[in-house]
Structure 1
Amino acid sequence: MATVKPDRFSIDNQLLARLSDLKSAKLAYREACLLLARQPDDEERKHAVAVLEAEIKVHEMAIERLEAAKLAQAEADSEQAKADRINTARAAAEAAAAASARIRATLDRLVDAFETTIGPALAELEALHRERASQAWAVATGTLGRAAASRSANAISRLAGQDPVASALITLLVRSGLGRVGPSLAPYVSVGAPAGGVGTPAEALERFDAQAKNLDAFLAETIESATRPQPATTEE
């Protein structure tokens, strides 16, 4: 990786150079003053002191200018940094507004799906379940009589019950991430998988198909049993 060479003309480097030169000039000035103190009338030594005094003044003035320039640069950098932060904040605000618009569009799609598809489909499922259970019970009572049908109530409830459909719906909810992916719905809605897991939607639908097949077989057997000739009974 290439290294960045320092800028020897930068304000910081110029300031360091001037401070170093000022320190050297002050040391030389001190020595020149000591020499002049020994020979106060020596014109050459007077001149050396005057030259060093002028040099020190030049360095001090240069340092003042550099410090002022450094302060101005710092203020400019601060203003630029502030402007950069504001620009970043504006970009973030625009992104947040865009996200809000997309969230609204997504909610609109979900509202439409629930109101026009999912909600009516759930209501239809409930009505169809009641219809199927009612018709299965009608088959049992019409062929077996109420007393015998009551003894078959558990079988009818199991074969015409909602468990396979409920399992399929739970599978879809869990696999869609409802309650886990997206906004938290707690504490109002909690969707969790049963202890044995939910499997796949295909497996849940297979369980429903098996239940429906068993119900059809049970009702067909019930009707067939009712149509079989009953053995005649003789009175003693």
Structure 2
Amino acid sequence: MSAPISPVVEASSRQDLCEIEATVTSGFEVVALQDAVEKLGCKVVRGRGRIFIHIPVKQAEKVLQLGGVDNLYVVVKRYEDFNFSKDQLVLQGAVNWPNAYHICGDNHEKAWPRCQQNLDFVREKRRVKGRSSATCDVMKWDVTNLPLRDNTVDVFITDLPFGKRLGSTMDNRVLYPKALTEMARVCKPKTGRACLLTHDRRSIAKAMQAVSHLWHRGIVLWINIGGLAAGVYMLHRNADDGKKERKEARGGQNSAAGQ
């Protein structure tokens, strides 16, 4: 009969483990998990676009033997009270640029209350540390019908639906042009900007063609999001919405008609 493990030994063994997160290409999570189990012989948990490896600290270097992963991260701490989601974009902005005013919106019934919880959490942490409060408000809205006045926003930062877990590429081809048109309405002409993250290259390309009189594209940075190749698009608001070009076109037509 084996002797029972004492709580002290059990706790010590848990402390000797570390958790490593590895990103993989979506659809190959099972292959990456099986490879990790075979090569490392430890507990591996599968997620979407990633796997989580629980391995003794002294053997952590063995994860470098894995060939089917893109990036490796050591999980230092998990925050149970903080619901990480899209709102971390605006929260990071509110924390790092306290002199600006930030507004966060979502149309999902559960998303904006969670964002408010996160905002309250951040504000309390800053209050305890004697720092200024995060200047940010949260509301429910539809990106195609924003409750904002014309020409009032300096910068939009948004994580557009990829068409994977949320929606589809067909939905995106309808949503993207409407969203960009509405953002152009409330964004300041000439100086306004929009920073967009998406994996759906075709939908954003078609949308940009449809709203070229409102926006022109700047730099594009390619990044890895959970194994997906995504682009960060920087858009710049046009100064006159193409009115000058349309006026010249009408003038040319009138001249031709007069002749």
Return the structure number with greater strand share.
Answer: 2
Q: TM-score range by the shorter chain?
A: under 0.3
Structure 1 length as normaliser, TM-score?
0.26
Q: Which structure is larger by alpha-carbon Rg, 1 or 2?
A: 1
Return the structure number with greater helix share.
Answer: 1
